[in-house]
Structure 1
Amino acid sequence: MRRLFLALLLTLTAASVQAEGWSRIGHGRLTVNDLFGDRIDRWRTGSVAASYVFGPEWTGRLPAMPGQILEFRILGEVIAPVRLDLPWAMDRPYSQALSLGLHTHFDRGGWQMALGADAVITGPQTGLSDFQMFLHRITRFDHMLHPAVAAAQTPNGVHGSGVFEIGRELGLGAAVLRPYAELRVGVEDLARIGFDLSFGPVGRGELLVRDPVTGHRYRTITRRDQGMSLVVGADVAKVWESLHLPAATNTLTEARYRLRGGIHWQGKKWAGFYGLTWLGPEFVGQSEGQLVGALRLQVRF
């Protein structure tokens, strides 16, 4: 896995060195939290993704070669058992992960592709649990991290992770359907198929990248066209192995499902996104799925 990660990283870095006339041409971020959804603090409880995109001037279309558009991505995520303050052997372990990655986006014959590699830092060394407990204190939320839950969490480590996605946009009158497939290796080994369906002008001719937690695609290279777009999507994945769900303590479900919907809006100064995602059970013994919300607000002065 480390060899694959290094090969991907070196390929993308070599491509970027050859590029000329580069600048930062876009950025995006997405905050995901169960507070914005079913308001129950558990499982995929919270994450923040941020992307910074570099390349030549954006033409409204992806380049034909990888390495001409590069996205530097940061993702912080906290995954929790159903109760932070009450150890339960049948639940999943507490996990915190911070990833730093390099991704490229390109188009070959109408097929939109994304290829990337990430270094994923796990365990208490990330400090994400301290931030989560700080938020719990200031909001007077009484679920604090029990020492036994903390002791059983995913340990400190640095792991390589790779991802490849391929999709194609199909015009359906006023709507755009985008079926896609995804392969991930490393922290989680999985294969996924799904679709995104959008209605409206916002997002067209822009670069949208996929949030790994919810599957929502958030805007990075944007236009100023005002309006709204409704987006819906779904996918199913087969997961063979997960660092967050070790085989010694948890059994993976046969399939992992996600169902989502959201709204992009773009005004003169304000832009934003709000979406909901239903995440199906990920391990045997998880009593039900969960509903998480995703939010982004942007203002231009």
Structure 2
Amino acid sequence: MNLLGVFLHTLDVTLPVFAMVFLGVLFKRIGWIDAQFVSTASTLVFKATMPTLIFLSIVRADLDVAFKPDVILYFLGFSAFSFFLAWGWAILRCPFADRGVFAQGAFRGNCGIVGLALAASQYGDYGLSLGGILAGGIIIVYNVLAAAILAYYSASAKSGIGSILKHIARNPLILSVLLAIPFAYFGIDLPSWLMTSGDYFGAMSLPLALICIGGTLSFTSVKRGSRLALDASLWKIVWIPLLGVLGALALGFRGAELGILFLFLGSPGAAASFVMAKAVNGNAQLAANVIVITTLASLFTISAGVFLLKAAGLI
């Protein structure tokens, strides 16, 4: 495939995903959706349609193919390592009160929506299956580390180990992964009508979630963006995916596994980081700025990364 072909394929992967985000921006601007719609739709996606999509993708998966312990362990391990890198940088660069929010924004990505959508766009059912397992695992890592760092730097935080474990145990995405693995492992067949209904229901997840992301973006916050927000954004969409890919290459990852690792590591900041920062009376504006900057800029950084990896024949 020549460079033009690689470039066009790259756009085929990234543009459909980010087109949905910009549709959300447009719909919010012309009044077709509002904050109440975004809140209701986000709840529906998180609690129902996304777990259904992940459950069915894993049920259909051949775990001998889709379950990759080495990929999973590397992704979770490197994500935890990137948290400590971001925290160390925050200690050097940030005021004490902002260190927790900075570290969370710099390492926590929107893997469950944007990363999963990109993996599905690039690798189809395999991307959904492996991506669903990665998303379920990383939710645990993100919530534990983010809650801990925010609690450490905020006197008002109430994120004890009990509340963290309760939050993880009730997370619908994690539950859907845990529930689906026995069905896939033992080859348990579900009724065809149930699978078809589930397909209809789960198919709403990614476009609806991406439109909701667009509906929450505020370009005004970009104009008020601080040096810290730009710094955290660079960590999230440039340095962490770059270091993660280099480490993966050194360990011998290639093809779809390397591609999915890059798409997940390069995903923009997670919307949940704003909610958690606000809950502990942290610098919620800093968290919001990171989300907006990384969401807009990741269109270019992810496209560039996919192009370079494909041009080099690595994915």
**Category of TM-score, reference length = shorter chain:** 0.3 to 0.5
Normalised by the length of structure 2, the TM-score is 0.31
More strand by share: 1
More helix by share: 2
Quick one: higher RCO (CA 8 Å, sep 6+), 1 or 2?
2
Normalised by the length of structure 1, the TM-score is 0.32
